[in-house]
Structure 1
Amino acid sequence: MRMSQALTASETTIPGLTVFELPVHGDSRGWFKENWQREKMIAAGLPDFGPVQNNISFNATAGTTRGIHAEPWDKFISVATGRIFGAWVDLRRGPNFGRVFTTELDASRAIFVPRGVGNAFQTLEDHTAYTYLVNDHWSADAQKQYAFLNLADETTNISWPIPLTRAELSEKDREHPRLADVAPIEAKKMLILGAGGQLGEALTNALADSSTVELATRAQLDISRIESIDAFDWSKFSTIINAAAYTAVDAAETREGRADAWAANVSGVAALARVATEHRITLVHVSSDYVFDGSREVHEECEPFTPLGVYGQTKAAGDAVVATVPKHYIVRTSWVVGVGANFIRTMVQLAEKGISPSVVNDQVGRLTFAEDLAAAILHLLQSNASFGTYNVTNSGEPQSWADIASKVFEMCGRNPGDVSGISTLDYFAGKPTSAPRPLNSTLDLSKIASSGFMAPDMALRLNEYVSALRS
């Protein structure tokens, strides 16, 4: 056993499997070590895996051999006393399935074992205590997700120091299947909430070929009902994309609408934040330009919230809650266009019917086409961008709603002058319920650009969208 070495981490041939050299301080009385120290070990490269259970396996005699077991959780393994030969086999589905790593562990070495990597050990000394921290609670249901591999599997061909014919094994371990018969452990999935909406549809299309995506419509999981969230099985997910929200801006100003908006956009989001924190899930939450009052020409991610109406207030409150989740992306956007009813579809219909509308000309911003918003979200996840808040819209020169409507009319063969501009104040005058709206919704895009993503110009996307509608 090595004494007083520096804390270091070394990657192995199995992705995510990491060996740690631990500082051990000793004298004539014995020794002391910090077996798990979150702050130092995270700095050294240990994932912040959130252990919830500590287990110890005591082995009376040298040659005791246990495994190979792969569980649906992460483990941090060390030896309290004695010495072991350890063998780890990647049993996750993918190109590394069946890859083997072996090494010896004593009190001065530990190893982080990611979910789905099979773990086995053979004691090299009597009275060996093998300890492990795990980040989920054992249950009979969890055990059904285990993968087992025979210690004597010929494919992996592990060179046990003490031949298995002379080692102490359980009957269960002797009967485990060979590698060819092992069902690989599947990766955790991505859950898309609000799958029936504009963004949900775009994400579904972008991920159509993925086997690790699960969709949930409001009928399947209603985030406005806390009991629906609490009853859901979150253990199989690594990422939640919350594309569900209450978005009826004007209705939110009514008594009933106010309650519904707070239930979905705040209470439901708070429940998702709790779930994401407890299960170490990455939470992607879609926000809105309505968290600002529009008094600034361009809105940066760090701008303080100044919502004007109930909808904006609920979105701002939801953002504040999501920001407390350790692994989160808040994606703030504006003027989303996708499938279903939206402003562009309405303008095309009016143009084709010969109607000449009045459209507000003092609200300025950029369109966000749902497919590009979906691409930005997937970029953040796949590039492992720093957690935090990102503005996402299409690029290009900001325009008013009236400017955009005129462009649509021109694309439809109408005179763009058939669209007349009107102020927001005059447009909503006399309407029984109308929410205050930010006059400037332009979002600064420099942060998402610095991460390596920039959505196409909105003029290009607008032309493609209108052409597709009219074809």
Structure 2
Amino acid sequence: MRRGGARRRHRQKPSTRFRASSAVVEFSKPLTAHATPIPGVVLYDLPVHGDNRGWFKENWQREKMLALGLPDFGPVQNNISFNESAGTTRGIHAEPWDKYISVATGRIFGAWVDLREGPSFGTVFTAELDPSQAIFIPRGVGNAFQTLEDNTAYTYLVNDHWSADAQGQYTFLNLADETAGIAWPIPLEQAELSEKDKKHPRLGDVVPMAPKKILVLGADGQLGKALRETYDGEASVEFAGRREFDLTDPASFERNWKNYSAIINAAAYTAVDNAETPEGRRLAWDINVSAVARLARVASANRLTLVHVSSDYVFDGTNETHPEDEPFSPLGVYGQTKAAGDAVVSVVPQHYIVRTSWVIGEGSNFVRIMASLAERSIEPSVVNDQIGRLSFVEDIAAGIRHLLESHAEFGVYNLTNDGEPGSWADVATRVYELTGHPVNAVTGVSTEEYFRDKTAAPRPANSALPLDKIRATGFTPADAAKRLAAYLG
């Protein structure tokens, strides 16, 4: 059954060229990137320098290509296809890895068809390539070429090692598919094709290649449940609670990570006071640091994006606000383990550290406790010298999704709700007001007074996190006061 939107065809031919050796090459073009109708497919002009002896080019130069916007796709294997005769035609094969394709000698007519799930499924792009050009083909885009000269060598870098098992993940399209309508320069009946390529399905019978998956860890916690709602119904997102993925068990990390694009780590040890005990200290370091180090190794080795949730507790709270680049200064064990986890994640090439504070979601939390006290006409004493903002999990989840989908610059992002910072006593007073109870029932006390004669971890006095960096990506956190009112119904 046909999927996706309308098929679009586009063909590009190079401009003025010169002959060098047996190949037709255009000299002295600047290194330039050209977008194509297929998302993620980019055609590059490569500078070629030549004289009476021949020519030279930088076929792949990571630093320059990254500056042009090419993904840092991490090639691990270089393959060359030598074709003795003009008219040799290969494809259309969509493989489960990214490819950077160029011509070493000779000239080809290339054809690419988007065979990924989504609205661009079936989009076609064609171009003639000589050694002065290259093209980047993302995973799931069908690739084919026809040689236009004898002795053509076609080369490509790929970011996964070929294996016989991987062939089972290919998606194929028939070279003669009428819907794609590729105008082969040498008619296929006159070209050299393999019998296997002749038998590939038409577009209407192609099963699109599914995207790589996002794995959400800690999926049964407050933030995990919000992420379930945010990604509800999306087959490309997999959720794992403690039973499905035990962060303390090294065996949990042994899986085929090639099928994933990102890990969202919403799991953490958050018992702040219990972390000060011998048993709690061990658990906090095990979950917040050792497990995170395993995730970091997995993400680095498999070129995955690692999203990690951080905390205001990585700071001592002596500053009024805490920008993303403030040095760590944790007070207690919990804060120390969160800071150590952040440091580990920061070395992963593709990472987002999402720093938040005063998290409110489903289940027991400060707001629900205050609402319960109000309903029972209890007059609580609440700390009034710790300042910060509430962070509702629906907004944290939405912000994480935004960072992943917008391909924002990797790094640390503060993510709380917006509005004027206030104290825990201010929040409690507002809860009493919104639930129709006397606001003077709440009495503000200092942290020292509240925890007198109690075993408790030290808390940062100021937890306000500036939101300028996340706003600059196009994400605007909701106002905390409005979210609180909606949360209480």
TM over 0.5: yes
AA aligned opposite 1:183: V
Q: Shift of residue 53 of structure 1?
A: 0.9
Alpha carbons of structure 1 residues 13 and 452: separation in structure 2 relative to 1, 3 Å: closer
Matched with 1:225 is: 249
- 1:260 corresponds, among 280, 283, 293, to 283
Structure 1 residues 410-445: Cα deviation after superposition (integer angstroms, max 9, x where no partner): 3333332323333222332333x4211111111122
AA aligned opposite 2:36: T
Matched with 2:22 is: none
Distance 1:105 1:407 in 2: 66
Distance 2:375 2:256 in 1: 48
- 2:473 corresponds, among 424, 429, 451, to 451
Is structure 2 residue 311 aligned with structure 1 residue 288? yes
RMSD between superposed Cα atoms in Å: 1.8
Matched with 2:201 is: 177
Q: How does 1:3-402 map to 2 (within 5 A)?
A: 3-229=27-253, 231-402=254-425
Counterpart secondary structure, 2:327: coil
Distance 1:233 1:219 in 2: 18
Matched with 1:429 is: 452
Counterpart secondary structure, 2:74: coil
Matched with 2:13 is: none
Counterpart secondary structure, 1:462: helix
Structure 1 runs, 4 residues or longer, greater than 4 Å off: none
Distance 1:284 1:369 in 2: 18
Q: Shift of residue 336 of structure 1?
A: 0.5
Distance 2:171 2:449 in 1: 66
Which range moves more in the overlay, 329-338 or 200-209?
Answer: 200-209
Q: Shift of residue 130 of structure 1?
A: 1.1
Structure 1 residues 174-231: Cα deviation after superposition (integer angstroms, max 9, x where no partner): 11111111111112222221111111111211221433222111211223333312x1
Unaligned runs of 5+ in 2: 1-24
Q: Shift of residue 457 of structure 1?
A: 2.4
Structure 1 residues 136-155: Cα deviation after superposition (integer angstroms, max 9, x where no partner): 12223322211011111122
Counterpart secondary structure, 2:169: coil
Distance 1:169 1:162 in 2: 12
- Mapped contact 1:226–1:267 kept (Cα < 8 A): no
Distance 1:235 1:84 in 2: 31
Q: Shift of residue 60 of structure 1?
A: 2.0
Counterpart secondary structure, 1:283: strand
Structure 1 residues 337-378: Cα deviation after superposition (integer angstroms, max 9, x where no partner): 000111111112222223332222221211111112222222
Unaligned runs of 5+ in 1: none
Which range moves more in the overlay, 177-186 or 204-213?
Answer: 204-213
Which range moves more in the overlay, 179-188 or 234-243?
Answer: 234-243
Distance 2:123 2:239 in 1: 32
- 2:482 corresponds, among 441, 460, 471, to 460
AA aligned opposite 1:336: V
Distance 2:353 2:148 in 1: 50
Q: Shift of residue 291 of structure 1?
A: 0.4
Q: Shift of residue 462 of structure 1?
A: 1.6
Q: Shift of residue 99 of structure 1?
A: 1.7
Which range moves more in the overlay, 96-105 or 336-345?
Answer: 96-105
Which range moves more in the overlay, 215-224 or 336-345?
Answer: 215-224
Q: Shift of residue 280 of structure 1?
A: 2.4
AA aligned opposite 2:199: E
Is structure 2 residue 433 aligned with structure 1 residue 410? yes
Alpha carbons of structure 1 residues 211 and 437: separation in structure 2 relative to 1, 3 Å: same
AA aligned opposite 2:271: A
- Mapped contact 1:91–1:98 kept (Cα < 8 A): yes
Distance 1:355 1:7 in 2: 71
Distance 1:71 1:154 in 2: 22
- Mapped contact 1:250–1:435 kept (Cα < 8 A): yes
Which range moves more in the overlay, 384-393 or 302-311?
Answer: 384-393
Distance 1:61 1:35 in 2: 24
- Mapped contact 1:225–1:263 kept (Cα < 8 A): no
| Residue correspondences, number | 465
Alpha carbons of structure 1 residues 280 and 63: separation in structure 2 relative to 1, 3 Å: same
Q: Shift of residue 135 of structure 1?
A: 0.7
Counterpart secondary structure, 2:80: strand
Structure 1 residues 375-418: Cα deviation after superposition (integer angstroms, max 9, x where no partner): 22223233333222221212222222122222222333333232
AA aligned opposite 1:435: A
- 1:441 corresponds, among 463, 467, 478, to 463
Alpha carbons of structure 1 residues 452 and 127: separation in structure 2 relative to 1, 3 Å: closer
Distance 1:452 1:153 in 2: 41
AA aligned opposite 2:109: F
